[in-house]
Amino acid sequence: MSSTVTPERLTGRAWAVLFVLCGAIFLEGIDVSMMGVALPSIRAELGLTTSELQWIVSAYTLSYGGFVLLGGRAADLLGRRRMFVGWLVVFLLFSGLGGFATDGWVLILARFVTGIAAAFMTPAGLSIITTTYPEGPQRNKALLVYAGTAAGGFSLGMVTGGLLTAIDWRWVFFAPVIVSAVILTGAVALIPRDTARTAHSGGFDLAGAFTLTGSMLLLVATVVRAPDVPAAQTVATAAAGLVLLGAFALIERRVATPLIRLGLLRNTALIRANLGAILLVGSFVGFQFIAVLYLQELLAWSELETGLALMVIGIDAVLAPTLTPWLVTRFGNGRVVLGGFVLAAFAYTAFLPLGATFAAMLPAFLLLGLAFALTYGPLTIAATERVSEEEQGLAGGVLTTSFQFGSALGLAAVAAVLAAGDELTAGGFRTGLAAVAAVLAAGDELTAGGFRTGLAVPLAAAVLGVVVACIPVRERTGANS
């Protein structure tokens, strides 16, 4: 896709295209966080069991994580605009289906297909940015605005979800339909059509596609379902996923037109950026899990009060496009990411006293918002720079996979620690996985000590992030490390 913007600054049309793409990632973020707040109301009206309720969350995570690498490569081979617009339509339709659902299985199906749509749409949108805006300050600016919008959507989603659920939980599904329709109108009008050279003329690697998607589905399912199933089943699904991944690697070595060029995965800068992404999102999601439970279970705050408190973390939506670009230009990606992980470690440490007032928790929330602003965008830049235009969708898919795996791992690790520390029952533990909705109110009593123990997980992840950010990577001349 040829660039239509100047290297010095973004034109009006370039900003318009960016706003459309930012609208999609905002939609994806707000959709995820709104859902957690609505779970108790959904359960009450549809009469869902604990397992069914958890699958409303898990179905989306499973399909998103399982298909996102395939989605990224499909954007490269079949056309980025085509994938973005087409799957945005699917997202719109199945979000609407969820709003009309009267049975749990319909709702779970809608969330599964919506996750697939996000898996194809998100890397396509990211690769449109990285192929439309020239590498350097202009692309960095676009990516930092994009990253800030994603984080802002996630933060605002909890508040929006609380407000919409107070009207009717079905609006948590209908609101994304309205937003999707607006974004779709802008995308059709503004995003440049795919050029002829984006078409794939060498055939599609079906064997690679099936083995990769099967492997991702099994590995994500291993993490998502680990708290709910026997250890033997966890080991079995993990082993099956790794076997399929090994088969995929063998296929890619031999096929004439591989789905993924394995040489891309030898890019040490890309690997470091994706490790950082796993640790960043894993620590953040784990912390949010703890904070939501603490505020609602021990302090008896409402969903809306909890959402408003955590919305402070959304300060990164303002800092990411304003402060972070200046810091990246001045100090380079590597140092900014390092500083962000250091601040994240301080934020989790500051939350350890578990204050009973918003004022006592405010420093931790502000530090975490600043930390996210300094890490999310620069990691996105590092994971996509110096990657050829033909593989930008794949690079975006790898990064999105890292975010999804980080989210699932962070949630599972924190839930496991809380379960061990507070002797939760199996049923209570399963409902804990839907804790953003405070479903645990029915029984198991979590203590402040248990929450402090759980905070060790995000804190350890942030410290590991500092270590990863310090690992030297040999870069090409002129690249920020």
Please tell me whether residues 219 and 248 are part of one structural domain.
yes
Out of 216, 236, 258, pick the residue that ends a domain.
258
pLDDT at 427: 37
Q: Is 89 a residue whose pLDDT tops 90? A: yes
pLDDT at 43: 80
List pLDDT tens digits, range 184-198.
999 999 998 877 554
Residue 284 lies in a domain: yes
201 or 317: whose pLDDT is higher? 317
pTM above 0.75, yes or no: yes
Cα-based distances in Å from 89 to 113, 139, 401: 12, 27, 22
Return the percentage of the chain with pLDDT > 70, whole number.
86
pLDDT at 340: 95
Query: pLDDT-based confidence at 209, cuts 50/70/90?
Result: confident
Dist. CA 393–CA 131, nearest whole Å: 9
Name the DSSP letter for residue 245: H
Two tokens, residue 112: 């599964």
Please tell me whether residues 330 and 451 are part of one structural domain.
yes
pLDDT, mean of residues 321-333: 87
Please tell me whether residues 374 and 230 are part of one structural domain.
no
Cα-based distances in Å from 338 to 115, 165, 205, 310: 32, 39, 38, 24
Residue 480 lies in a domain: no
Two tokens, residue 343: 């601040």
pLDDT at 399: 86
Residue 290 lies in a domain: yes
pLDDT at 1: 43
477 or 450: whose pLDDT is higher? 450
Given a contact cutoff of 8 angstroms between Cβ atoms, the answer to whether 291 and 435 are in contact is no
pLDDT, mean of residues 198-221: 73
10 or 123: whose pLDDT is higher? 123
Residue 52 lies in a domain: yes
**Of the candidates 313, 320, 378, 375, which has an alpha carbon nearest to the alpha carbon of residue 350?**
313
Query: pLDDT-based confidence at 473, cuts 50/70/90?
Result: low
Task: Residue 70: give its domain's CATH number.
Answer: 1.20.1250.20
pLDDT at 219: 82
Please tell me whether residues 210 and 272 are part of one structural domain.
no
Residue 477 lies in a domain: no
Question: What is the rounded average pLDDT for all residues in the chain?
Answer: 81
List pLDDT tens digits, range 255-289.
877 777 777 777 788 889 999 999 998 898 888 87
List pLDDT tens digits, range 23-42.
999 988 888 778 867 777 88
Please tell me whether residues 225 and 333 are part of one structural domain.
no
Please tell me whether residues 233 and 299 are part of one structural domain.
no
Q: Is 479 a residue whose pLDDT tops 70? A: no
Domain count, the chain: 3
List pLDDT tens digits, range 368-418.
999 988 998 899 888 887 777 777 888 888 888 888 778 777 877 777 777
Residue 352 lies in a domain: yes
Query: pLDDT-based confidence at 460, cuts 50/70/90?
Result: very high
Given a contact cutoff of 8 angstroms between Cβ atoms, the answer to whether 368 and 375 are in contact is no
Domain span at residue 383 reads: 267-472
Residue 1 lies in a domain: no
Residue 314 lies in a domain: yes
Please tell me whether residues 389 and 305 are part of one structural domain.
yes
**Of the candidates 61, 124, 69, which has an alpha carbon nearest to the alpha carbon of residue 249?**
69
CA 459 to the chain's CA centroid: 19
Please tell me whether residues 228 and 286 are part of one structural domain.
no
Dist. CA 294–CA 309, nearest whole Å: 12
Beta-carbon count within 10 A of 133 CB: 23
